[in-house]
């Protein structure tokens, strides 16, 4: 339907990271679901994460919104949400042909009436809010929001800031409005897409990196217990490593100077590249197990939890002023 409106050595050896498991581990989630447009229970469910984590949400019969869901990481996320038992996923994006193609592929795999594409822009508040209203009217509401849409283009840095930061904040606030228990909603989970370069530098694309640092800040603050206890919505973050998508392959030539282009290319080429499929698997893990305010890296087929230290743990007194 389309509508036009600690295992292997981790890459980062840092005290703020903890390897959970390789995301290609099987048995992470439901692997055999009914493909009807109606909500059906999965036929089999396996234990995830070796029984270490407490499951906070089952994917059974859940309704999700995935921004930028027609291609790349968003498409993979939609695949794995449906594979894990989701009832319906609403995806959006600016390109009608890409959206219709995505719906055709997804419904061929998972059955009819499982996906809706809505052409729109996360920078348009009314378009974005329309996704929540559609879900409420058709399915009774939304359970999962993946704020995935983003661009890597420092030449168009103002649009990049609008999309990468304001789009994520807008999606989170809309989730609070439409899903929050304090607004007669049932709660749920919001996953905001940051990046590994929101935890380290990408000097050749400094504005892009800065937007992802901003997303990390949004996760830590919106995911705080002050908001969770009021809304019943977990806000978590996923930080993709270098992933084989158009965002990465099309990045050259989009930085502010030729020298910056070369530096961004050099930096990205030194990091391991992975398939978008691993991000879909990682997303499902986060939906099921991640506590509110937590941040997760998916890189080189592994998922790692980021432990943000307290300020006093990372600061050292230099001098004291009179």
Average pLDDT of the residues in 94-118: 96
208 is catalytic: yes
Which CATH superfamily does the domain covering 8-297 fall into?
NAD(P)-binding Rossmann-like Domain (3.40.50.720)
> Whole-model pTM?
0.86
Q: Where are the beta strands (DSSP E) in 104-157?
A: 115-119, 144-147
Mean pLDDT of 30-57: 50
What's the chain's average pLDDT?
87
CA distance 301 to 299: 5
Q: What is the pLDDT of residues 191-245, one digit of tens each?
A: 999 999 999 999 999 999 999 999 999 999 999 999 999 999 999 999 999 998 8
pLDDT in the model for residue 18: 61
Residue 94 C-alpha from the chain's centroid:
18
Burial track 253-285 (b if 16+ CB lie within 10 A, e otherwise): ebbeeeebbebbbebbeebeebebbbbbbbbbb
Report yes or no: 109 and 79 within 8 Å, Cβ to Cβ: yes
- Contact of 72 with 246, CB cutoff 8 Å: yes
Q: At what angle are helices 276-289 and 72-83 packed, to 10 degrees?
A: 50
Domain boundaries, the chain: 8-297
Predicted pLDDT at 20: 60
Three-class DSSP category at 79: helix
Instruction: Write down the residue that tokens 């991640």 correspond to.
Output: 290
Which one of 29, 110, 139, 208 is the catalytic residue? Answer: 208
Contact 118, 92 (CB under 8 A): yes
């Amino acid at each position: 339907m389309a509508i036009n409106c600690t295992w292997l050595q981790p890459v980062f050896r840092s005290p703020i990271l903890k390897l959970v498991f390789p995301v290609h581990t099987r048995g992470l989630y439901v692997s055999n679901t009914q493909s009807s447009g109606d909500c059906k229970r999965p036929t089999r469910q396996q234990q995830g994460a070796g029984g270490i984590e407490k499951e906070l949400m089952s994917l059974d019969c859940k309704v999700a919104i995935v921004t930028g869901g027609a291609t790349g990481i968003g498409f993979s996320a939609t695949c794995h949400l449906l594979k894990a038992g989701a009832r319906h996923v609403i995806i959006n994006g600016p390109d009608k042909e890409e959206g219709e193609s995505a719906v055709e592929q997804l419904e061929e795999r998972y059955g009819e009436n499982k996906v809706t594409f809505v052409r729109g822009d996360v920078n348009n508040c009314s378009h974005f809010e329309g996704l929540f209203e559609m879900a409420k009217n058709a399915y009774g509401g939304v359970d999962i929001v993946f704020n995935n849409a983003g661009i890597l283009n420092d030449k168009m840095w103002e649009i990049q800031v609008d999309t990468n930061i304001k789009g994520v904040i807008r999606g989170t606030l809309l989730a609070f409005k439409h899903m929050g228990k304090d607004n007669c909603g049932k709660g749920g989970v919001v996953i905001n897409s940051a990046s590994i370069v929101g935890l380290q530098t990408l000097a050749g694309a400094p504005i892009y990196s800065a937007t992802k640092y901003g997303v990390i800040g949004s996760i830590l603050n919106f995911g705080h217990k002050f908001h969770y206890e009021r809304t019943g919505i977990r806000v978590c973050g996923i930080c993709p490593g270098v992933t084989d998508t158009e965002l990465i392959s099309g990045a050259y030539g989009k930085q502010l100077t030729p020298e910056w282009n070369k530096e961004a290319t050099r930096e990205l080429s030194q990091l391991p590249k992975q398939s978008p499929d691993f991000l879909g698997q990682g997303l499902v893990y986060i939906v099921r197990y991640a506590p509110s305010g937590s941040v997760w890296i998916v890189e080189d087929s592994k998922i790692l939890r980021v432990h943000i230290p307290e300020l006093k743990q990372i600061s050292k007194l230099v001098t004291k002023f009179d």
